[in-house]
């Protein structure tokens, strides 16, 4: 099997790595950053004639692969995916599908019309933690679900990296936060509750990361002599210059050359060296939503950019019991109303070999199996993922229009 990778950033590299470990050849790549493109091509032995600066070039001419991994920026997803489907390529599409609802629908319809696999990277469906949770709920261990409370705790440095300084900071160039980050979580609600969502009410705002909240004398760039370097939790050098060897995400994102001098230079005038109070960000830093599902089940979802943990926590209340879960700890505690017994279930994380709770590699393998025609166990599809996107669009409309939105 052969793949073309559009976008050789961190996610494109992750999917390429797990695909090649399954025996797949990376037949072509499109990446506008020349240095990043060269590193990727050397790593995966991409043929010289199939190394491109743009996705348009990569998809031009005769079809030369089986599928496309589309990890371009959000607002490029639609045009590039439609072009790939038109050429007859199966597509693994990084979430979110698109920041435009009509484009999400159109991609689903095009894939179905062509009889091609279009899978959105909702990797958490494949995490053993959520698979176990799904099993418990489907077995009615707590009866019928009455209310589901899910919180996405985004650790403070991750929020500053991705949603204040980084690629997903501004709706005009990416998507609303609840779509860009949390369509994962809305997809989990659909997956775990097993019903369609009918309406939503949502509130939230950009409260903290604003120019008026900058401490006195804070410069535009942290390295320009910030007087608050010892008291600000978002001081860029403290985050990006700590690692000396084995540089990993998010530090590896600020410069293709991860040496200390190169990273230092990148912080001087690069986006990740900016003061968090002097960026062009406009996405919210906290948001809450209440969803109503068919049959009367309700769900509350909170996303917070000010957490000391980088995890998801949840509580589910049923007619015969309740449960609580902590993704990072791999713990699910179930309480039975009748017996009063509490059962603690631990997920074995010692065997996991990828991020997102083990979901990355398992989702990649599922996509490859679907492309190979072994779709019987396929856990998700673009049609399924569309529901979470419609929930996100409705939640954002509710937040901005201050009213309940029917889906």
In the chain, where are the structural domains located? Answer: 2-120, 124-209+282-359+368-406, 211-273
pLDDT of 352 reads: 64
Whether residue 78 contacts residue 175, with contact meaning beta carbons closer than 8 Å, is answered with no
Place of tokens 């961190």: 10
Q: Is the dihedral of CA 306, 308, 311, 313 positive or negative?
A: negative
Q: Given strand 90-93, what is the order of strands in its sheet?
A: 51-52, 25-30, 2-6, 67-70, 90-93, 118-120
Distance, in Å, from the CA atom of 243 to the CA atom of 252, rounded to the nearest integer, reads: 10
pLDDT of 243-283, one tens digit each? 888 898 899 889 989 999 999 999 999 999 999 999 999 99
pLDDT of 199-251, one tens digit each? 999 999 999 999 999 999 999 999 999 999 999 999 999 999 998 888 988 99
For residue 334, what are the β-bridge partners?
323, 343
Phi, psi of 45 (to 5 degrees): 55, 45
pLDDT of 343-376, one tens digit each? 999 998 876 655 666 788 999 999 999 999 986 6
pLDDT of 140-172, one tens digit each? 999 999 999 999 999 999 999 999 999 999 998
Whether residue 382 contacts residue 111, with contact meaning beta carbons closer than 8 Å, is answered with yes
CA angle 57-61-66, nearest 5°? 90
pLDDT of 374 reads: 85
For residue 300, what are the β-bridge partners?
149, 290
Whether residue 128 contacts residue 360, with contact meaning beta carbons closer than 8 Å, is answered with no
Whether residue 264 contacts residue 241, with contact meaning beta carbons closer than 8 Å, is answered with yes
- As given in the structure block, the two tokens for residue 375 are 């779709």
Helix 382-401 and helix 183-193: axis angle, to 10°? 120
Distance, in Å, from the CA atom of 399 to the CA atom of 403, rounded to the nearest integer, reads: 7
Distance, in Å, from the CA atom of 142 to the CA atom of 128, rounded to the nearest integer, reads: 20
Residue of 387, 174, 190 whose CA lies nearest to 284: 174
Secondary structure percentages of the chain, helix, strand, coil, to 5:
40, 20, 35
Distance, in Å, from the CA atom of 151 to the CA atom of 172, rounded to the nearest integer, reads: 26
Whether residue 296 contacts residue 203, with contact meaning beta carbons closer than 8 Å, is answered with no
The superfamily CATH assigns to domain 2-120 is NAD(P)-binding Rossmann-like Domain (3.40.50.720)
What Rg, from alpha-carbon coordinates, does the chain have? Answer: 22
CA 141 distance to own-chain centroid: 30
Domain 124-209+282-359+368-406 fold:
Dihydrodipicolinate Reductase; domain 2 (3.30.360)
398 has pLDDT over 70: yes
- As given in the structure block, the two tokens for residue 383 are 């049609």
Mean pLDDT confidence for 293-316: 97
Supply the DSSP symbol for 165. Answer: I
Residue of 337, 303, 352, 86 whose CA lies nearest to 203: 303
- Say whether the peptide bond before residue 311 is cis (omega within 30 degrees of 0): no
Please name the residues in contact with 259: beta carbons below 8 A apart, sequence gap of 6 or more: none
Task: Kindly report the pTM of this predicted structure.
Answer: 0.92
């Amino acid at each position: 099997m052969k793949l073309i990778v559009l976008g050789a950033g961190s996610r494109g590299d992750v999917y390429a790595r797990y695909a090649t470990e399954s025996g797949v050849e990376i037949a072509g790549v499109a990446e506008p950053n020349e240095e990043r493109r060269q590193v990727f091509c050397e790593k995966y032995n991409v043929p010289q004639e199939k190394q491109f600066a743009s996705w348009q070039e990569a998809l031009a001419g005769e079809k030369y692969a089986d599928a496309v991994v589309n990890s371009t920026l959000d607002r490029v997803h639609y045009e590039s995916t439609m072009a790939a489907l038109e050429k007859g390529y199966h597509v693994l599409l990084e979430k979110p599908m698109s920041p435009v609802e009509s484009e999400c629908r159109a991609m689903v319809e095009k894939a179905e019309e062509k009889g091609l696999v279009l899978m959105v990277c909702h990797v958490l469906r494949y995490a053993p933690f959520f698979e176990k949770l799904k099993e418990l709920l489907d077995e009615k261990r707590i009866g019928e679900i009455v209310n589901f409370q899910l919180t996405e705790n985004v650790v403070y440095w991750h929020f500053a990296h991705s949603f204040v300084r980084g690629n997903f900071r501004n709706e005009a160039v990416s998507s609303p936060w609840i779509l860009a980050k949390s369509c994962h979580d809305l997809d989990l609600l659909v997956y775990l509750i097993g019903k369609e969502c009918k309406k939503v009410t949502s509130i939230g705002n950009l409260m903290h990361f604003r120019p008026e909240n900058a401490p006195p004398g804070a410069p535009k760039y942290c390295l320009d002599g910030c007087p608050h370097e010892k008291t600000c939790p978002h001081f860029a050098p403290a985050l990006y210059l700590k690692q000396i060897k084995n540089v990993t995400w998010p530090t590896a994102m600020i410069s293709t050359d991860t040496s200390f001098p190169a990273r230092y230079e990148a912080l001087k005038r690069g986006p990740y060296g900016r003061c968090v109070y002097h960026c062009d960000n406009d996405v919210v830093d906290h948001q809450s939503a209440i969803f109503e599902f068919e049959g009367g089940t309700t769900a509350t979802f909170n996303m917070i950019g000010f957490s000391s943990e980088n995890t998801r926590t949840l509580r589910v209340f049923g007619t015969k019991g309740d449960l609580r879960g902590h993704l990072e700890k791999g713990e699910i505690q179930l309480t039975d109303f009748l017996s009063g017994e509490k059962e603690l279930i631990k997920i074995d994380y010692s065997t996991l070999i990828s991020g997102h709770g083990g979901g990355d590699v398992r989702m990649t393998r599922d996509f490859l199996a679907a492309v190979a025609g072994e779709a019987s166990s396929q856990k998700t599809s673009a049609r399924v993922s569309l529901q979470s996107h419609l929930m996100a669009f409705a939640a954002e409309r509710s937040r901005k229009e201050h009213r309940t939105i029917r889906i």
